[in-house]
Structure 1
Amino acid sequence: MQRARIDSKELIERLKLEPHPEGGFFRETYRASGKVTRENEVETRSASTAIYFLLCDGAHSAWHRIRSDEVWHFYAGDPVDVHVLDANGGLVTHRLGNALDHADSVFQAVVEAGNWFAAECRDTEGAALVGCTVAPGFEFSEFELAAPGALESSYPQHRELIARLSLKA
């Protein structure tokens, strides 16, 4: 069954999405009032946060990392490939999508804290609405975008993918 395409402009307006520094559009929808402290740290933070995240118009989520685990949830649209580089040089690609329509997709995928990751719609002309839940909660102070050209020397076997999904200088 063919699903209707996402109307990106309508979703941006209806969900009050804003441009995200990594690419795409987002809005925080939840910030837990409960606070937690990481082991061996003093600073407290929200136990969890959640956002809507929209990829559309050929945009991708550029390589970045955060200090918390992030769970991606599929809501609507085209499948999204979430590419994750681990500390040992490995690459895992999670195909996030409607698993009822796409046998190679999953409804949820986890990116572990500290790993570099990027995401793109499988169909470069497609659009996808996903959600991201972060625990402990997301803080921009712990968000690190990879500088152009910074990851290729650490992950030479993935140079082409890294270059394609990097921020442009």
Structure 2
Amino acid sequence: MKTKYTAAQIARLLGLKPLLPEGGMFCSTYRSCDKNRGRETASAIYYLLESPTFSHMHRLDADELYHFYMGDAVELLLLGPNDARRVVLGQDLLAGQQPQVLVPAGCWQGAHLLPGGQWALMGTTMSPAFEDACYEHACAEELCAAFPDQRTLISQLTTSR
């Protein structure tokens, strides 16, 4: 039997809280006990996007691996030093959606539900572990200047909707 959940039910069942300033909701599920240079070697979270919320453009100093669990497809905008690409996280493999996406350290990233989507439950795993100091919130003007071809989506992922 397949149960239809609402975003509110998932948030309550998993104990998710708002993820500020990025957007969405999260709950930490794992932090490694091992350390390297004073920082835990890995961490993991549940991450929920509910329309019209989005993941504000940001970058991290560590690799982040997204895992898609359930709900509607999510588009990630990835802006690296030499390229810009869009990747869709989701369950429809025949449509080119991917159940996992790696965001390399230092790559600008933002995400939103595809049009018509209501919510998506994902997870992310980081190595080394997430720390507040590793998060950099994007400035729309600077990103648009560096990636003018992505101006429309950058603007959508850096302002309130």
Task: Indicate the residue corresponding to 2:97 in structure 1.
Answer: 105
Counterparts of 2:147 and 2:3, CA distance in 1: 38
Deviation >3 Å, runs of 4+: 3-6
TM-score normalised per structure 1: 0.87
One-letter amino acid of the structure 2 residue matched with residue 51 of structure 1: I
Find the aligned partners of 2:5 and 2:130 in 1 and give their Cα distance: 27
Q: Do 1:81 and 1:95's aligned partners in 2 also have CA atoms closer than 8 Å?
A: yes
* Runs (5+) with no aligned partner, structure 1: 38-43
CA distance in 1, matches of 2:4, 2:40: 35
What is aligned with 2:46?
A: 52
Deviation at 1:167, TM superposition (A): 3.3
Q: Does 1:137 align with 2:136?
A: no
Deviation at 1:143?
A: 0.4
- In percent, how many aligned pairs have the same letter? 35
Question: AA paired with 1:15?
Answer: L
The 1-side partners of 2:44 and 2:10 are apart by: 17
| AA in 2 matched with 1:68 | A
Q: 1:116 aligns with which of 108, 117, 122?
A: 108
Shift, 1:4, TM fit: 6.2
Separation in structure 2 between the aligned mates of residue 68 and residue 128 of structure 1, nearest angstrom: 23
Ranges in structure 2 where 5+ consecutive residues have no aligned partner: none
- TM-align CA RMSD: 1.6
1:154 aligned partner: 146
TM-score with structure 2 setting the length? 0.91
- The alignment partner of 1:33 has SS state of coil
Identify if the C-alpha distance between structure 1 residues 125 and 85 changes in structure 2 by more than 3 Å, giving closer, same or farther. Answer: same
Q: Which of 46, 55, 71 matches 1:61?
A: 55
CA apart distance, 1:135:
0.2
Going from structure 1 to structure 2, the CA distance change for 1:25 and 1:161 (only over 3 Å counts) comes to: same
Find the aligned partners of 1:93 and 1:4 in 2 and give their Cα distance. 30
Shift of 1:5: 5.0
Q: Structure 1 residues 59 and 86, CA, compared in 2 at 3 Å: closer, same or farther?
A: same
Contact persistence 1:147–1:167 (CA under 8 A):
no
